[in-house]
Amino acid sequence: MRFGLDDDDDDAREELPALKARTCRTWKHDTRQARQRSIIGGSISIIMNGHCNGKASDVAVEQFHSSNAFPELSVKKAAHRNLQEGSRKEEEDQCRLPSMEAAYASILRELGEDVDRHGLLRTPLRAAKAMQFFTKGYHETVDDVLNDAIFDEGHDEMVIVKDIDMFSLCEHHLVPFFGKVHIGYIPNKKVVGLSKLARIVEIYSRRLQVQERLTKQIAVGLSEALKPRGVAVVIEAAHMCMVMRGVQKMNSRTVTSSMLGAYRDDPKTREEFLSLTQN
């Protein structure tokens, strides 16, 4: 903005800085209000109407809440974002199905099968959907399943949930391994809903895995979420890659363990856990 003044207008020249400052403040105030209205309006429109890839909606939700236009809605921010994230992942899975179905059909053809015969007409699609279910843990995190189910509690003795059923896929041969998971932890003034321990197992087992890594991921995931004094995880599983192929040993079992905190540092604590899970 320019201000045209005569050279001999001394009074007006003296008022010029104050006039500029007032004009600048007014312009900034109007700009902030317009930007806030734009964010709120655009965010509501995107949130209500959705977006083809979901990413724009996430940005809009973040802007909408950060604008503090409606503070009473900010408490619903995490739940809304999780809902959007779940919808986006479902859309991604649907988008990947055709290519996965075609890949399974190609495998069947290479095996010498007729993919047009009645029994195999929908097999490629079923196999693709099954594989997505077997690996759905890639789309989940510990925070997703805990869902604030961590409670203040004075209990400081060992908590154990044992014989949790586990199914996973060996990443070397894409065949199953399955068995039982035993989890123990020593609370540090906080406890978690017991069913959440089984859900943490589900997150990491529904991925392409090796048992050693799976055991450690469960232990570390619980430790980071709960900050307990110690975490212990033991898995006993049968691997179909050793039963259906290779050495074909029907009765073999693999046992792995991960000990953190007090379970690693204190032999008596570790021994107590192992004794309770074996009986």
Q: Is 172 annotated in the active site?
A: yes
The catalytic position among 65, 170, 217, 236 is 170
Q: Is 118 annotated in the active site?
A: no
CA distances from 36 to 58, 70, 235 (A): 17, 12, 53
Q: Distance (Å, rounded) from C-alpha 13 to C-alpha 10?
A: 5
Q: Is 241 annotated in the active site?
A: yes
Amino acid at position 161, single letter: V
DSSP state of 189: S
The catalytic position among 171, 212, 224, 271 is 171
Q: Is 239 annotated in the active site?
A: yes
The catalytic position among 101, 211, 217, 236 is 211
The catalytic position among 94, 95, 153, 172 is 172
Structure tokens at 92: 């991604």
Closest listed residue to residue 207, CA positions, set 166, 237, 247: 166
Beta bridge partners of 160: 184
**Which residues, 6+ apart, have CB-to-CB distance to 101 below 8 Å?**
124, 125, 127, 128
Q: Is 95 annotated in the active site?
A: no
Q: Is 24 annotated in the active site?
A: no
Q: Is 171 annotated in the active site?
A: yes
CA distances from 73 to 57, 59, 79, 113 (A): 16, 16, 11, 56
The catalytic position among 51, 85, 173, 272 is 173
Residues involved in catalysis = 170-173, 211, 239, 241
